[in-house]
Structure 1
């Protein structure tokens, strides 16, 4: 009997479970579901899941996307070295504010490692399993961050194939993990030495290889839109920014509370409809509309259990706003009292 082993990033092992505090229907004349946005709105609030080619830097790729789409600003979800390929989410316009949410999602890579000596496959498998843990890493000399010793989590490793001294393996890890350093450490553990030969990123949170597009795809789609006014091809290449917070704990609110949050107000308990069951005080959360639109990031001022029990006070301190003002009707009042 064979068993299929699941390789999951941390957030995938815990399903989202929501509890209802109150019920209310949403008014269809305000806002819209993320998947129903117009092309103009998608370009302002979307993310392109780009297949980064080998050669250019991540910053150069993001700049090319900005030029192709005629935007003032773009940002990418995690730097890849020039020689590394694969998943590079590029946020468009104001959506660049959401890209930091991907830091807690985890990443997955497919790596080709070259061994400096001959090693049996069984030993390689055993050593890979030993590295499925917290590791100490110091960023390499050529890096964009300070070279301080830090810990990074390896969530899983999977031996895939071996040919001669070349080893193909999959690794799921915390953002900021240096796979080149991981290969070096694996080589030390094998007592033969090793280095990274090739690397491809296959996942960044919910952004996977099955939704990738190339720079050429994006350029062709933009030309088709400009010349024939056909937006469908380009729309299919832009993903709503809400996908970047798929792994975050969420609170869904009333239509009447949305515009207050858009103006920077904190969320009152009275505005909550349903929420993640496991939210703890001081935890970061995403505030959402009933249509699934991202309104803001905030910090919970109380746990889910307390939000369900009380009926007055503020429950989320707003930190970063994404919803434009005026999309939803103006609020009638903003509660001031904070329940400790």
Structure 2
């Protein structure tokens, strides 16, 4: 962040603390989402270094939090304005900076595979999509229910074989007996309320192609 005037370090530290916790944000004018006020949670803000008007911070927050908006709003509280000078994402969920590859590396790996039949470099880059399910509760779904979910249907209680504890509003990974990722959804009840009937998870992102598993439902 770059502050637009000379400010004491103690003021910057105090202002940064006020943004920890639940905050309200309206996305910037230049953004890819609708500009309406949203609530997001900032878990921590560490001020790592202050060099005159430049402030280096490490922020951990809920997905969808706008860093440049935080910088702008901090500038307002500092009474002189501020803007985001540079952004570097060091982690997203379970994925960390050291797991990233460049597009050049992808291009070279594809070239070796397509033209030389060498797949070693490509295997270093590609990861099963199920790795993204790490860190979220998972539900094992009956084989007869898989295909309906691949069409976007919600998960109903009779289709559940086993599950990890989850709460209402949690994102949940839906998987098969074999550990294949089917979809990501949002729980509409707590796992403690799970019964023999009713909707359990509302499907939000389908990952598995349709009709891979047998169709056990009627249109």
Shared topology, TM-score over 0.5? yes
Contact 1:139/1:148 (8 A) holds in 2 = yes
Computed over aligned residues only, the root mean square deviation of the Cα atoms, in angstroms, reads 3.0
Q: Per the alignment, do residues 178 and 323 of structure 1 end up closer, same or farther by CA in structure 2, a change over 3 Å counting?
A: closer
- 1: CA distance, partners of 2:10 / 2:69: 22
- 1: CA distance, partners of 2:27 / 2:154: 38
Deviations 1:128-169 (A, max 9, x none): 111113333333332233333333322211111122221110
In the other structure, the counterpart of 1:223 is 111
In the other structure, the counterpart of 2:76 is 188
Q: 1:288 aligns with which of 163, 172, 175?
A: 175
Q: Compare 265-274 and 215-224 and name the one that shifted more.
A: 265-274
Q: Per the alignment, do residues 118 and 217 of structure 1 end up closer, same or farther by CA in structure 2, a change over 3 Å counting?
A: same
Contact 2:188/2:202 (8 A) holds in 1 = no
Q: Per the alignment, do residues 237 and 177 of structure 1 end up closer, same or farther by CA in structure 2, a change over 3 Å counting?
A: same
Q: 1:305 aligns with which of 185, 192, 199?
A: 192
Contact 1:258/1:295 (8 A) holds in 2 = no
Gaps of 5+ in 1: 1-112, 335-340
Give 3-state SS (helix, strand or coil) of 1:131's partner. coil
In the other structure, the counterpart of 1:91 is none
After TM superposition, give the deviation of residue 324 of structure 1 in Å: 4.1
Does residue 127 of the first structure (1) align with residue 127 of the second (2)? no
Q: Compare 136-145 and 125-134 and name the one that shifted more.
A: 136-145
Contact 1:261/1:267 (8 A) holds in 2 = no
Contact 2:146/2:176 (8 A) holds in 1 = no
Q: Per the alignment, do residues 238 and 190 of structure 1 end up closer, same or farther by CA in structure 2, a change over 3 Å counting?
A: same
Give 3-state SS (helix, strand or coil) of 2:29's partner. coil
In the other structure, the counterpart of 1:204 is 92
Taking structure 2 as the reference length, the TM-score comes to: 0.79
Contact 1:259/1:327 (8 A) holds in 2 = no
Q: 2:143 aligns with which of 253, 258, 268?
A: 258
Structure with the greater relative contact order (CA < 8 A, sep ≥ 6): 1 or 2?
1
Gaps of 5+ in 2: none
